[in-house]
Structure 1
Amino acid sequence: MGNLDLNRRELEAQLSDLVRENRFTIAVVFPLVGAVLFVLSHEEILLPPWLAMNPLLVLFGTAVMRLPLVAGLAPLVDRRAGIALLAVTAYSYAIEYVGVHYGVPYGEFSYQIELGPMVGGVPVGLPVFFLPLVVNSYLLVLLLLPRAGRVLRTLTALGLVLVVDLVLDPAAVGLGFWAYDGGGVYYGVPLSNYAGWVLSGLIAVSFVEWGFDREELGARLRNCEFALDDFVSFVVLWGAMNVYFQHWVAVALAVGLSIGLVRTDRFDFVGVGREQPERG
């Protein structure tokens, strides 16, 4: 067991070093390149057919942008946290399957392109897309409201999850990732989608709240300068895509998220390219 713990710590340290040394590339370059490729694919110009909206490339790029979150949380994933993350993963598959086939709770929708391998109409890589929306929102709330009680913390994180989806969904629909039957009043997205997210987000946030020790998680966030870089990637990519589609309400919400990130002092656009020691 001692050797396993040592090997795990060594791997965690190596991953942290990799992320720290490549922060700007991961958190800014990757989402900007992704935005350019999405626009070129949508406009059907310059890119060969095999590259336009290539599902494996989409999954790979997303996984790379998730590395800061993985490296930030990895030292805190014990048995309880692992169970919580597995539960959210299983839940995400289950509710997405029900949503695709029965229109509950988000409303009738279907994927228009494959986001990596698909099983039963659901992307195999769904947790790579779903979990960070919830976890990043929860982490940002911990930093912004460190003294909030459990109820306030959970409800605020849920509200932030809804804001995140208000940024994501319009651009994803514009790109043709998925579509809602009959469209919707919010840039092609029906209000039923957000009613569904109240349910799915609350359950997912509650698992995260249960699984992680808040004090340990808060200390890790304060000491790990790149812990929210994945959230920055999200704002850069989907904020840019909403500018492209002229979804100005979604753009304003993305700006609001960026203000929250700036207030946490976790991401410095000037200093991100320089190697920075972990905060002690």
Structure 2
Amino acid sequence: MDRAAVERRLDDLVRENRFTIAVVFPAVGAVLLLASAEGLVPEPLAFQPTLVLFGTLVMRLPLIAGVSPLVDRRAAAAVLALTAYAYGIEFVGVNTGWPYGGFEYGIDLGPMLAGEVPVGLPVFFLPLVLNSYLLVLLSLGDAARRRAVRLLATLATVLAVDLVLDPGAVALGFWAYDAGGAYYGVPLSNYAGWVLSGAVAVACFDVAFDHAALVVRLRDCSFMLDDLVSFVLLWGLINAFYANAVPVLVAAGFLLALLRTDEFDAAVLRRPVERLGGR
């Protein structure tokens, strides 16, 4: 089977299971994570690392399927370079406290590399940046043709993503900052670190992909940003449980931004309503 055939099969798999991937998985994931944090899940199953990594990979499938036809040698090299960079800066961060501020993992997020950094780190981090990049391309339209505009807008979007992610992760106990922080236990230094790591990742993705080709693919691929829907549901629910009001509002802002773009197919969000109506 050639690459094109594999890509078509992956497209079909994701398209036929959009609701399960983009809605059911994050909703069930949020319940399991919250139950684990609250001691309602037996110890062997609480925050089960393989399950955490598997669930994350499933929710990434729409993005993987959407982007894969555009991955050439240049894009593949950029992703490999970013993977190495992500591991490197995380190792530095865990051992020195730079650039995010002193922190340590409280839960193994899948297998741990050298016992310090999750092996699945690129699966957790890189899609957040790429989703932000794609959302900016859709939201800004013609303005996104200017490199400076799309880079700065994407970096701001990446920071907004972490305004949702980090408070929820800290509340669950995924990781903790040594000195705490003013923003739901997260220090401002963390966001300064994200400016650095995010800027590098955004610049690499901008070099790796033809942004015009990405826009065309976004228009043709109805599910390409479903991974962002999963992110909003998963971390929105977790933050809502812990009454983290600002992260919930930011998560809702992402959802509204998606719904305002003509290219995003919101059918995956309408399906529960249609089911209730007997359709």
> Do they superpose with TM above 0.5?
yes
What is the letter of the counterpart of residue 142 of structure 1? L
Within a 5 Å distance, the mapping from 1:124-273 to structure 2 comes to: 124-147=119-142, 148=144, 149-265=146-262, 266=264, 267-268=266-267, 269-271=269-271
Q: Does 1:100 align with 2:94?
A: yes
What is the letter of the counterpart of residue 129 of structure 2? V
- Gap runs ≥5 in structure 2: 275-279
Q: Does 1:13 align with 2:4?
A: no
**Matched residue count:** 268
Aligned residue number for residue 53 of structure 2: 59
What is the letter of the counterpart of residue 227 of structure 1? M
* Contact 1:23–1:272 (CA under 8 A) maintained in structure 2: no
Tell me the distance in 2 between the aligned counterparts of 1:137 and 1:37.
26
* SS of aligned partner of 1:110: strand
Post-superposition CA distance 1:185-236 (Å, at most 9, x none): 0000000000110111001000000000111111001110000000000000
* Contact 1:23–1:273 (CA under 8 A) maintained in structure 2: no
Q: Displacement of 1:115 after TM fit?
A: 0.5
**Scaled by the length of structure 2, what TM-score is found?**
0.94
Q: Does 1:90 align with 2:87?
A: no
Percent of matched pairs sharing the same residue: 62
1:33/1:271 CA distance change after superposition, 3 Å: closer
Aligned residue number for residue 278 of structure 1: none
Q: Displacement of 1:146 after TM fit?
A: 2.2
1:73/1:272 CA distance change after superposition, 3 Å: farther
What is the letter of the counterpart of residue 129 of structure 1? F
* SS of aligned partner of 1:146: helix
Tell me the distance in 2 between the aligned counterparts of 1:20 and 1:219.
18
Tell me the distance in 2 between the aligned counterparts of 1:272 and 1:84.
38
* SS of aligned partner of 1:66: helix
Q: Please report the RMSD computed on the Cα atoms of aligned residues, expressed in angstroms.
A: 1.3
* SS of aligned partner of 1:189: coil
- Gap runs ≥5 in structure 1: 1-5, 275-280
Runs of 4+ that moved beyond 4 A? 271-274
What is the letter of the counterpart of residue 66 of structure 1? R
**Scaled by the length of structure 1, what TM-score is found?**
0.93
